Structure 1
Amino acid sequence: MAPPTPAPPTNPPHTAVVATVPVDTRHWIGGRRVASVATFTDRSPLDGAPLAEIARGGAEEARTAVAAARDAFPGWAATPPAERARLLHAVADGVEARVEDLAIVETMDNGALLRSHRRGVMPRVAHNLRYFADRLLALSHDDFDTRGHRNHVSWDPAGPAVLITPWNAPLMLASWKIGPALAAGSTVVLKPAEWTPLTASLFADIAHEAGLPGGVFNVVQGYGAEAGTPLAADPDVRRISFTGSVPTARRIATAAAGNLVPCSFELGGKSPLLVFADADLELAADLAVEQYDNAGQVCLAATRILVEESAREIFLGHFLDRVTKLTQGDPRDEATDIGPNIHPRHIERVDGFVRRALDAGAKAVVGGGRNTELAELAELTELGGNYYLPTLLTDVQQDSEIVQEEVFGPVLTLQTFPEGDEDEAVRLANGTRFGLAATLATGDRERARRIGARLVAGTVWVNCFFVRDLSAPFGGSRASGIGREGGDWSFDFYCDLKNTVTAPKGWARHG
């Protein structure tokens, strides 16, 4: 008799296998996995296929996670800085050991280029953790005297911090917040974006394996209204850091207001790229094309190109030459330059902006719609329909929607300003409600100094783009956000600063 056919292998309960990588789909709360009654489906932007059924948290899970962070806080706050730093380095070691797993899962979950995740993004996660671990040990302020009294400044851990992160660079952006919060001695509840929850779950495993105590780091998955709002409103939360949209920030601020919880908001922008005729126009074109990175889903992207009139045609020629050489397709392919947008609902939003602009008189010099070739190919391959052509629109008005509102897709606009009119260039550059970043291309150092000083932006790049050092302050002005993080500014946020003033007298013992 023939032996029985073995049963096909089955995945462990609550586990999804994403491109051979097992990912636990439950929350991570108090040092253990916690399931929810309800789930939601996480789909890949590559082809729309389901990746996992994710535990769908709500008020109960939010409260449990904050309570775990609250209970763990005294012990973590009392942990010597050197030990906190050691544990963060151990987590960074774990990230580096799993770069390949993290990279492929993130690509499947958010559609960004696999080569970027492997070579830059995931190694940067480890770097972020190491930076804040080391910065913690260097944190100090010189003592100073006031009429013979000694002032001593210290950073006291603030308490449980809720971190709400976006989907465009899920784990890397989370690590900008996790690193300083944990280094500062605060405990963390992370709420990842519902469209990209998977690497947060893997990170919880890595942190646990590195020896991070239970309750110090927690993950609650779910939708903003169901999980994010109760997290923001919890009376035991002492800090909230959020990266995302202005409307969501308003809801979080409203939820946090009753408890007077300090918030740090990075809310995206509508950043300008100013190109003067004295610039290296080939470099300027390179900078402009770089704005299509991650399918235009970058908060810092300089999506409004402002060119001095006499340089328009030469700049445009260089730009079009470069755009036509971009390859759009499967982000797992090494040859791909632009992958898919995150979600069918999001690409509808992007296309809506473009269609309304075209109806209002704008002209598409390049792109202007979905990538129909890839859409047709999707019927024969695993590629989905979330691919939007890199687009440049001209003949747009300063007060138009396409110029004023963040599209968050591969869509740029081109405007000109009169020859030598720096005032008009600055007026156009500052002429939105945002102020996250600005990029300036010029060959004149004095002009760069003059213009840079007048631009409303948290970061100004001159003849470069996206050079980002964690020692520098990061954040936006106007509707682009509240507060600054990076370097000591992060510790200022995740801590309560204390000044201890000591008198020179009164030390004698009595009776």
Structure 2
Amino acid sequence: MRTRIEGVEVDTRHWIAGRRVDSAARFQSISPIDEAVIADMAAGSAIEIEQAIEAASSAFKRWKRTAREERARLLHRIADIIESRIEALAQVETRDNGSLLRSHRRRVMPRVAMNFRFFADWLLQLDHPDFDVRGHRNHVSWDPSGVAAIITPWNAPLMLGTWRIAPALAAGCTVVYKPPEWAPLTASLLADIAAEAGLPDGVFNVVQGIGREAGAALARHPGIRRLSFTGSVATARQIAAVAGANLVPLSFELGGKSPFVVFADCDLELAVNTAIGQYDNAGQVCLAGTRLLVEESIRDQFLEAFLAKATAIRQGDPRDEATDIGPQISRPHFERVDGFVQRAIASGLKPVLGGAPNRDLGGLYYRPTLFLDPPAGSEILRDEVFGPVLCLQGFRSEEEAIALANDTEYGLAAVIMTGDHERAKRFTSQVSAGLVWNNCFFVRDLRQAFGGNGKSGIGREGGTWSFDFYCDVKNSVYAPVGWRKDG
């Protein structure tokens, strides 16, 4: 029922109503570093989901009435404990999902703590000024909606999970969290942390399991009042179909096929270095600009500099500080990425970089790959690979660049590299994306609205937008007459 991961003890059972709950069924957590089985996890079903929602519904009656200040205090206490355990959390998550240990230590786990601090503080300043309509005073308030179901992916499980869990708890919702089956371990540690911080029993619940079983049971349950999901379009369609029967409001982040646009007037060194960053986390980043669009007049120069940098990328064990990118998350995902690449090659495309597994390392390590000039509408341009695979296309005018950038069913993000501020503003206003970076990448603040257009998702989260989602926003109108003088 407990296992040790990199010297850290992790409970493999669910967390429901303030206690550990086991299941008869089990599933294995397999480390992508070496494909070793590292944990035998309790596999939840509709039974455990029912228990968790019952616990969350019962706890909601008290939690929704808990003062803002007390909810904020508890979230800050959770952040305190996370900060005291960054090394343990980083070690466990690296072993579990194969992302870089150095990134977990320096960036990801500190952001996990920040998720709780930010939404605790935002809760205390959440307000809308009263306003008058023909002498009638209007007051806006945010009422907790109820039980929030949260389902997140494996590429940054604790960070992406707490990005939704923290605002839901701050808003006064209770939570049932289904962590990713390919990287479930830090969710169990978060349950321990929440309990140590003093979060009341039933306010936060974790049910592990396979998506088609535990996730499906959670999505269709009539007891949930909000559902936040991050993952694939195909899974989102299934969730929307069953949650829609209960008219449950949804927040979806579904990945992307983002353009990375390089104009001739850019800082070329900055553009190349930023483009190399699109291989981060072995390409398993929804925001990555995987379609490099480069102005023809600098295309050869850009490509030469890019290939020089890309061939120097150090791939290997993510626990090594010298490693730049690690493995793919699992054998099925590794084969999916390779399938995209091999079909592109079979269609006549020749990779100028990579194009195959890293035979030197074996296992789940895939070489950073770059294709030149895939034909319009080809699979490698159209579909999200979610691996270290980029494509490069040329353009001759700003108008052509916009057309290429918007030639996708996705619309999560875009990157623009240019020295012309007016061009940047023009391009930003025309590109279809929820987030646009100009001469930068991955600059994200929790005050920002985050979400995508088209197949990249539904809704926005961050700052007040998160509270708008997890709450029922109410407007109360007070007449100027009819009140007792002592009332």
TM-score for the superposition, normalised by structure 1: 0.94
Distance in 1 between residues matched to 2:429 and 2:245, nearest whole Å? 37
Q: How does 1:161-240 map to 2 (within 5 A)?
A: 161-240=148-227
Instruction: For 1:498, give the aligned amino acid.
Output: K
Residue 476 (1) aligns with residue 463 (2)? no
Percentage of identical aligned residues? 64
- CA RMSD of superposed structures (Å): 0.8
Residue 442 (1) aligns with residue 429 (2)? no
Distance in 1 between residues matched to 2:84 and 2:420, nearest whole Å? 46
CA contact (8 A) 2:373 2:394 kept: no
Instruction: For 1:42, give the aligned amino acid.
Output: S
Q: Deviations over 1:283-327 (max 9, x none)?
A: 111111000100000000000000011110111111111112110
The match for 1:242 is 229
Instruction: For 1:282, give the aligned amino acid.
Output: E
Q: Deviations over 1:346-392 (max 9, x none)?
A: 010001001111111212111111001112xxxxxxxxx10000111
> In structure 2, the residue corresponding to 1:399 is in which secondary structure?
coil
**Aligned partner of 1:88 among 75, 97, 122:** 75
The match for 2:468 is 492
**Aligned partner of 1:412 among 390, 405, 413:** 390
The match for 1:147 is 134
Q: Structure 1 unaligned segments of length 5 or more: list them.
A: 1-13, 376-384
Instruction: For 1:253, give the aligned amino acid.
Output: A
Shift of 1:96: 0.7
Distance in 2 between residues matched to 1:117 and 1:306, nearest whole Å? 31
Q: How does 1:84-483 map to 2 (within 5 A)?
A: 84-375=71-362, 385-418=363-396, 421-483=397-459
> In structure 1, the residue corresponding to 2:285 is in which secondary structure?
coil
CA contact (8 A) 2:32 2:364 kept: yes
Distance in 2 between residues matched to 1:40 and 1:21, nearest whole Å? 20
Shift of 1:509: 7.0
Distance in 2 between residues matched to 1:42 and 1:160, nearest whole Å? 28
Distance in 2 between residues matched to 1:67 and 1:346, nearest whole Å? 35
Shift of 1:482: 0.1
Instruction: For 2:26, give the aligned amino acid.
Output: T
Distance in 2 between residues matched to 1:361 and 1:489, nearest whole Å? 46
Instruction: For 1:173, give the aligned amino acid.
Output: L
> In structure 1, the residue corresponding to 2:28 is in which secondary structure?
strand
The match for 1:72 is 59
Shift of 1:508: 2.9
Shift of 1:255: 1.2
TM-score for the superposition, normalised by structure 2: 0.99
4+ residue runs of structure 1 moved beyond 4 angstroms? none
CA contact (8 A) 1:363 1:395 kept: no
> In structure 2, the residue corresponding to 1:53 is in which secondary structure?
strand
The match for 1:378 is none
Q: Deviations over 1:222-255 (max 9, x none)?
A: 0111101111111110000000000100111111
Distance in 1 between residues matched to 2:222 and 2:166, nearest whole Å? 23
Distance in 1 between residues matched to 2:298 and 2:146, nearest whole Å? 53
Shift of 1:200: 0.1
Residue 56 (1) aligns with residue 48 (2)? no
Distance in 1 between residues matched to 2:375 and 2:120, nearest whole Å? 47
> In structure 1, the residue corresponding to 2:448 is in which secondary structure?
coil
CA contact (8 A) 2:45 2:214 kept: yes
Distance in 2 between residues matched to 1:451 and 1:52, nearest whole Å? 48
Shift of 1:395: 2.8
Shift of 1:166: 0.2
Q: Deviations over 1:63-116 (max 9, x none)?
A: 110111000001110000000000000000111111111000000000000011
Distance in 1 between residues matched to 2:267 and 2:173, nearest whole Å? 47
Instruction: For 1:68, give the aligned amino acid.
Output: A
CA contact (8 A) 2:82 2:113 kept: yes
- Greater C-alpha Rg: 1
Q: Deviations over 1:186-211 (max 9, x none)?
A: 00000001000000000000000000
Instruction: For 2:9, give the aligned amino acid.
Output: P
